[in-house]
């Protein structure tokens, strides 16, 4: 086991979690409400600003407890920011409010590790 806490604290400014849970049940889920398109909108917004896999990471996650038929749940940590009902069209305003119009409010640290940006 390797403790990576210090490395991640230095490297990461924020982690965007996008729920893509799709369940075969009567209950609402982000997957059924367009989560894949919302996830792509998040990645695209960051890519367009050269901020994807930098000090901001994006992770597809399971249920965040904000299930809705109206859209996707997103959480930005460690900022303790939570949204539900997010549609792809909402993503630019959401990320802009968090990171600035050009993602200039993202930490300066850039990931030095080789990662697959897809
Ligand atoms: S299914 Fe997405 S928050 Fe529950």
**pLDDT digit string (tens) for 14-64?**
999 999 999 988 999 999 999 999 999 999 999 999 999 889 999 999 999
Query: Ligand 1 pocket, 74 CB below 6 A?
Result: no
Q: What is the pTM of this model?
A: 0.88
- Report the CATH number at residue 63: 3.40.30.10
Q: Within a domain: residue 26?
A: yes
DSSP string computed for 37-105: HHHHHHHHHHHHTT-TTSSEEEEEES--S---SS-EEEEEETTTEEEEEE-GGGHHHHHHHHH-TTSTT
Domain count for the chain? 1
Structural domain containing residue 78? 5-99
Q: Within a domain: residue 113?
A: no
Query: Ligand 1 pocket, 39 CB below 6 A?
Result: no
Q: Within a domain: residue 109?
A: no
Q: Within a domain: residue 116?
A: no
Across the chain, what does the average pLDDT equal?
90
């Amino acid at each position: 086991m390797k403790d990576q806490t210090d490395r991640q604290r230095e490297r990461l400014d924020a982690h965007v979690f996008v729920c893509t849970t799709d369940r075969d049940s009567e209950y609402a889920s982000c997957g059924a409400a367009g989560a894949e398109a919302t996830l792509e909108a998040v990645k695209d917004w960051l890519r367009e600003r050269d901020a994807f896999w930098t000090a901001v990471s994006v992770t597809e996650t399971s249920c965040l407890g904000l299930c809705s038929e109206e859209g996707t749940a997103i959480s930005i940590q460690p900022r303790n920011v939570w949204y539900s009902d997010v549609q792809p069209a909402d993503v630019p305003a959401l990320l802009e409010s968090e990171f600035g119009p050009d993602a200039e409010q993202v930490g300066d640290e850039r990931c030095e590790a080789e990662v697959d940006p897809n």
